[in-house]
Amino acid sequence: MRICSLLPSATEIAFALGLGDEIVGVTHECDYPPEAKEKRVVVKSAIDSEKLASRDIDESVQRHVRERKGIYAIDLLRFRAANPDYIITQDLCDVCALDYHEVMEAVKWLTAPPKIVSLAPTRLADVLRDIERIGVSAGKQVAANELVRRRRVGKLVPIEDESEALSYPPSQTERLECRDLLSALQQLPAEQRQIVVWIGLDGVSYQTAADMLGIPIGTVMSRLSRGRAALRHIVEGEIKWNWGEKRC
């Protein structure tokens, strides 16, 4: 199987299911696990958020939206060289990731029609179902079931009671990892930390974050990009993430 993952979260899922060796293409934002950064990049951004000010990013995003141009683009030469027969993409948000219709246009350049799995999760339960979908379609159903089972361990309780809700205590290593992550988050500027937590941990959409803060969506993208880069720099080599339970 030759897999192109056109979504960072899908790349993480694929690696977690043991499909890392079969991934032949990823996006420029796929940076976890570290092995993902060694894969061929077949999706790039039309906006260089690292070099532009927040206002410039917002203006560029708005211009692309008005002109019905994608904010992300497939590198057709690299995509054709990857020659995937299995593609994981999304059809939930044209601003957050590659447009689904562009994916459908790009596959016309491949030598044979690939299997396409499109994700559109809006809540945690959907994410777990997507893991199962990928597992079934990629022949990793057992691994997917186990991964979902681990993520579902525990029970729902009022947040004020969460300290008593752990079915078993975290290990010393997990405590240290969680402590280091929280420490790294505290070192970020407040506006970056807020966006990283909302979007990266809570799953809030770009548009929702922009609406809640009363700022342009381009500013949200800029803060997230800078916050992720800063956080990665702080924790590089200190925290090794995995798909086991994190209980902090």
Q: What is the pLDDT of residues 87-99, one digit of tens each?
A: 999 987 766 778 8
At 156, list the tokens.
């729902």
**Distance set, CA 238 to CA 174, 175, 209, 233 (Å):** 12, 13, 29, 10
Q: What is the pLDDT of residue 135?
A: 94
Average of per-residue pLDDT across 110-127:
89
At 224, list the tokens.
């997230």
Q: What is the pLDDT of residue 163?
A: 46
H/E stretch holding 61 reads helix 54-66
Which one of 18-32, 180-194, 230-244 scores highest in mean pLDDT? 18-32
Question: Cis (ω within 30 of 0) for the bond into 33?
Answer: yes
The mean pLDDT value of the chain amounts to 80
Question: In 3D, which of 10, 11, 173 has the Cα closest to residue 92?
Answer: 10
Q: What is the pLDDT of residue 120?
A: 86
Residue ranges of the chain assigned to CATH 3.40.50.1980:
3-148
**Distance set, CA 49 to CA 81, 101, 210, 232, 237 (Å):** 27, 24, 16, 16, 25
CB 14 within 8 A of CB 88: yes
**Distance set, CA 138 to CA 13, 18, 147, 191, 220 (Å):** 12, 10, 15, 39, 34
28 exposure class (CB count in 10 Å sphere: 0-12, 13-18, 19+): middle
Q: Which fold has domain 3-148?
A: Rossmann fold (3.40.50)
Going by their DSSP bridges, the two strands 3-5 and 86-90 should be labelled as parallel
Burial letters for 52-79: b for 16+ Cβ neighbours within 10 Å, e otherwise?
Answer: bebeebbebbeebeeeeebbbbbbeebb
Question: In 3D, which of 225, 236, 234 has the Cα closest to residue 195?
Answer: 225
209 vs 248, higher pLDDT: 209
**3 state SS of 5:** strand
Q: What is the pLDDT of residues 57-80, one digit of tens each?
A: 777 777 877 777 777 889 999 999
Residue 162: pLDDT band (50, 70, 90) is very low
175 vs 217, higher pLDDT: 217
115, β-bridge pairs:
86
Torsion of CA 143, 144, 145, 148, to 10 degrees: 120
For domain 168-235, the question of CATH label 1.10.10.10 is answered with yes
Task: Please check the confidence at residue 210 and state whether its pLDDT lies above 90.
Answer: no
Task: Please check the confidence at residue 121 and state whether its pLDDT lies above 80.
Answer: yes
Residue ranges of the chain assigned to CATH 1.10.10.10:
168-235
**Distance set, CA 26 to CA 4, 5, 23, 40 (Å):** 6, 5, 8, 6
CB 84 within 8 A of CB 25: yes
